[in-house]
Structure 1
């Protein structure tokens, strides 16, 4: 499947998607905000698949910063592959990378995510098993 979309590099998570009209501008190009929503979906899928959860009393990730690069336009009804991986992690944060592919790279993004205890608003530590998964499956680097 990766070859079909022109995917380069190793990615821990991927899913196919067909661009909907609601994700486009008047010229049938993927709207910049739609990329971010699709990447957010990947972040949530990654977090849940790594054993995290979402509740008012459980720790969860929030985006501290986000950088996006638009390489080529995507269009209405394009079949694309969305990918996500963890590039690095610290005690209470991690860096995710995202990409959208269709015959090569269309859009890439990098998000610094901070884990917050939703009950208190304080930073929370990444569970050891999640850190291990980031390193082993995603190839993420532990930063100091």
Structure 2
């Protein structure tokens, strides 16, 4: 099994028929769209939704490793795990499972978010409340 980190959230995404490619499995670009969706939902849930003109996250790096193909119909469960907590950044690890089958890993991915001032484009420290939420999980 791929390395796991402290889980800070989990979300589900209902796979749609149109998310498949010509081969009949989830198109690789949709893994990144699903990651975006669960990340935005999680940020909203912790009070840090995207607010243009304020401060917030931008993606510095992202990757995905595909283990098994996902096919319609599927309810995809995606974890949010804290891999690294920095001064102005956070790296999350994600694991893709199908609902009801927590033992079969379909894919895993990483994303590094850097907190920035959207007006200046400069990195800023993570908000204190977000750091306080994540710090107990950072080992």
TM-score, shorter chain, exceeding 0.5: yes
Could you tell me how far 1:9 is from its partner in structure 2? 6.6
Q: Which residue of 2 aligns with 1:58?
A: 54
Q: Secondary structure at the match of 1:123?
A: coil
Tell me, yes or no, if the aligned pair for 1:30 and 1:73 is still in contact at 8 Å.
Answer: yes
Shift of 1:10: 4.8
1:60-82 alpha-carbon deviations (Å, 9 max, x no partner): 11111112110111001122212
CA gap 1:23/1:58 in 2 versus in 1, 3 angstroms: same
2:129 aligns to what? 129
TM-score by length of 2: 0.86
- Match for 1:99 among 91, 95, 102? 95
Name the counterpart of 2:21.
25
CA–CA distance in 1 between the matches of 2:70 and 2:63? Answer: 18
Structure 1: gaps (5+ residues):
1-7
TM-score by length of 1: 0.83
Write the distance in 2 (CA, Å) between the matches of 1:79 and 1:49: 21
- Retained in 1: the 8 A contact 2:6–2:82? no
Structure 2 residue corresponding to 1:69, chosen from 62, 65, 68: 65
Offset at residue 89 of structure 1 (A): 1.2
Q: Structure 2 unaligned runs (5+)?
A: none
What's the secondary structure of 1:105's corresponding residue? Answer: coil
Report the Cα distance in structure 1 between the residues aligned to 2:55 and 2:26, rounded to whole angstroms: 32
Instruction: Note if contact 1:29-1:75 (Cα within 8 Å) is conserved in structure 2.
Output: yes
